[in-house]
Amino acid sequence: MPDSEDILPGADWRDCFEGEMVTPESSSLDVSRLLLDHPPAWITSLMALRNGVVSLFGLKTVELAAGTSAGGFPVLSSTPQRTVLGFDDHHLDFRIVVDLEGGPNCQLVNVTTIVRRKNAFGRLYIFVVGPFHRRIVPATMRPFCTNVRPVNIRDETVSRPA
């Protein structure tokens, strides 16, 4: 489980889901691209809607394309066990952290989203997007992972309302 302060100091919202890879991959970057470059069609449609709405407010859009990114999210750092993606915007900063544990026969994947809300619009944005997000992350994992579930930390579910 990533330490939010090490990855995004001042973060005030996060959620985390885990599952077992059906077919283990060689690195966290490979898993990141597998999960984020191939979203279900309904997620692609939601992202297009999101991009259209946020562009009206001058916020960054996410282009669902591969390259130096995974699912359009810039890769900030990557090791075989952890990839950190994300960017900073006017209303919030966010990171997507993909962690791998285990070996070639059983590989556990944790996908953690960490957010630092900067202003009232950032808080409103997470309030609106949060319920969708808690469905989107598991949906991107299910084609490639079994037993996808939210992760609890210190007896408290990390995925919580804004």
The whole-number average pLDDT for the span 61-90 is 77
> Helix, strand, or coil here: 103?
coil
Give me the amino acid identity at 98.
Answer: V
Phi-psi region of 83 (alpha: psi -120 to 50; beta: other; left: phi over 0): beta
Q: Could you tell me the pLDDT band of residue 127, with boundaries at 50, 70 and 90?
A: very high
Asked if residue 20 has pLDDT above 80, the reply is yes
Q: Determine if the pTM surpasses 0.75.
A: yes
pLDDT at 10: 94
CA-wise closest residue to 128 among 52, 67, 50: 50
Structure tokens at 146: 């079994």
Q: Could you tell me the pLDDT band of residue 156, with boundaries at 50, 70 and 90?
A: very low
pLDDT at 161: 41
Is residue 73 within 8 A of residue 36, CB to CB? The reply is yes
